[in-house]
């Protein structure tokens, strides 16, 4: 055991932040933050695992190829076989462009970090992850709603080979009908039938509703035709694809476009949820999408204007319905060295570069009340 004077530093002091007990005493601390940031993102985004995701290695956009259907013909003896006379199958393309770099950042003052009695960086990291995840889901869900209103990109000029397009299903006449479990269940079965009739695979079918709709459904578990009735307690109430209707797994999210709003619209009409009060500026704001009517820098895909979602009240889709292209996945960057010395702190930055759009409209279903929104705004959202 080493013995030293009290005024001398301990030579055998263990520094858990050092790499191999050498050099920078904080070298390992930043990696904890990186992991925390990614967990904060992953736990709060559901769209990333429900749609087709591709990574862009270079360039500004990614091309997806559509191939339509073809026919079978009887061979005529003696006739050359040179392909179908109708020239099928038709082929088309879909290009998804990367939006500008999406960032969320915070400056951590070193003295504040020293005096704090809690994990300051870990807490900030989770909030940065939440912010990126929220934006990711909102853009992706708007792309799915867009796909539900489109004809298929695949077809021929003579209309002999038109592929099926998107589907919009009416839940009810009034806004409050979007929260009535029996009406939602009927819409689910209609959606499943439509997807079957359009040849969409039954594998990977999901729905995303707002929390009020989800809770209305699970209260109807006993007599509403829900699958997985044996799921109870927290698993049933989690909203993470535990319950199903017609083979469609159901998720809940506050990030779907819902009646001109994100998540939920509070009102006083029949069956509409009452405003709980004191909900802050991030929950249920009826003006959340209004700024989306103006063009926005940084957006390179059309995610629709605010008034394009006035009647939308839920999404049902299959994995092929929409695609997300990522050039930079969720990452973290932290300043160090001279910059940290000058400012006596670090800038912690989470970043993401992605773009989203529909792929196969036939795999997209939008639930709506009243008369369906048919137009999809040509302006880009400033508050997507």
Tell the residue number behind the tokens 């792309």, with chain if given: 143
Is 298 domain-assigned? yes
Is 84 domain-assigned? no
User: Domain containing 188 — which CATH number?
Assistant: 3.90.1690
Q: Model's pTM, two decimal places?
A: 0.81
| 223 vs 23: which has the higher pLDDT | 23
132-171 in b/e form (b: 16+ CB < 10 A) is bbbbbbbbbbbbbbbbbbeebbbbeeeeebebbbbbbbbb
Token couple for 302: 């059309």
* Separation between Cα atoms, residue 102 and residue 201, nearest integer Å: 33
Strands (E), 115-163: none
Is 14 domain-assigned? no
Judged against a pLDDT cut of 60, whether residue 284 lies above it is answered with no
* Separation between Cα atoms, residue 25 and residue 4, nearest integer Å: 21
* Separation between Cα atoms, residue 73 and residue 83, nearest integer Å: 10
* Separation between Cα atoms, residue 316 and residue 362, nearest integer Å: 11
| Domain count along the chain | 1
What is the torsional sign of CA 192, 197, 203, 208? negative
| 12 vs 120: which has the higher pLDDT | 120
Question: Residue 382's pLDDT is what?
Answer: 38
* Separation between Cα atoms, residue 193 and residue 197, nearest integer Å: 6
Domain limits at 132?
A: 29-67+90-369
Judged against a pLDDT cut of 50, whether residue 203 lies above it is answered with yes
Residue range 267-293: mean pLDDT, rounded = 66
Question: Residue 50's pLDDT is what?
Answer: 92
pLDDT tens, residue by residue, 57-91: 888 888 888 777 777 888 889 888 877 776 677 77
Is 353 domain-assigned? yes
Is 85 domain-assigned? no
Question: Residue 291's pLDDT is what?
Answer: 39
Residue range 285-310: mean pLDDT, rounded = 65
The mean-pLDDT minimum among 101-105, 231-235, 247-251, 330-334 falls in 231-235
Token couple for 234: 């927290």
Element containing residue 243 per DSSP (H, E):
strand 240-245
Question: Residue 287's pLDDT is what?
Answer: 47
Q: Which residues are within 8 A (CB) of 238 and not within 5 positions of it... i.e. 6 or more apart?
A: none
pLDDT tens, residue by residue, 306-360: 778 889 999 999 999 999 999 988 888 888 888 788 888 888 889 999 999 999 9
Judged against a pLDDT cut of 60, whether residue 32 lies above it is answered with no
Question: Residue 177's pLDDT is what?
Answer: 94
* Separation between Cα atoms, residue 55 and residue 111, nearest integer Å: 39
Token couple for 113: 């970090």
Question: Residue 273's pLDDT is what?
Answer: 84
């Amino acid at each position: 055991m080493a013995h030293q004077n009290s005024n001398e530093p301990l030579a055998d002091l263990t520094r858990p932040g050092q790499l191999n007990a050498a050099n920078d005493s904080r070298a390992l601390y930043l990696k904890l933050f990186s992991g925390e940031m990614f967990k904060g993102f992953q736990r709060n985004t559901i769209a990333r695992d429900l749609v087709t995701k591709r990574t862009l290695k270079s360039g500004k956009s990614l091309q997806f190829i559509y191939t339509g259907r073809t026919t079978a013909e009887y061979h005529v003896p003696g006739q050359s076989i040179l392909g179908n006379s109708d020239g099928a199958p038709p082929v088309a393309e879909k290009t998804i462009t990367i939006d500008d770099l999406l960032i969320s950042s915070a400056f951590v003052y070193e003295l504040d970090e020293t005096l704090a009695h809690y994990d300051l960086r870990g807490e900030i990291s989770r909030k940065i992850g939440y912010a990126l995840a929220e934006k990711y889901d909102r853009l992706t869900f708007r792309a799915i709603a867009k796909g539900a209103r489109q004809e298929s990109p695949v077809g021929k000029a003579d209309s002999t080979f038109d592929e099926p397009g998107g589907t919009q299903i009416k839940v009810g006449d009034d806004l409050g009908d979007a929260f009535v479990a029996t009406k939602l269940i009927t819409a689910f079965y209609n959606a499943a039938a439509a997807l079957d009739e359009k040849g969409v695979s039954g594998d990977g079918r999901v729905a995303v509703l707002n929390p009020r709709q989800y809770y209305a459904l699970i209260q109807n578990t006993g007599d509403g035709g829900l699958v997985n009735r044996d799921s109870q307690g927290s698993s049933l109430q989690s909203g993470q694809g535990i319950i199903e209707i017609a083979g469609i797994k159901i998720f809940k999210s506050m990030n779907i476009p819902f009646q001109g709003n994100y998540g939920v619209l509070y009102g006083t009409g029949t069956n509409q949820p009452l405003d709980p009060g004191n909900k802050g500026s991030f929950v249920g704001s009826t003006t959340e999408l209004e700024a989306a009517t103006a063009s926005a820098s940084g957006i390179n895909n059309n995610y629709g204007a605010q008034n394009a979602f006035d009647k939308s009240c839920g999404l049902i889709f299959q994995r092929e319905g929409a695609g997300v292209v990522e050039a930079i996945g969720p990452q973290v960057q932290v300043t160090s060295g001279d910059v940290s010395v000058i400012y006596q702190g670090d800038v912690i930055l989470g970043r993401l570069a992605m773009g989203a759009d529909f792929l196969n409209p036939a795999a997209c279903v939008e639930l709506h009340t009243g008369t369906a929104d048919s137009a999809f705004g040509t302006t880009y959202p400033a508050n997507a």
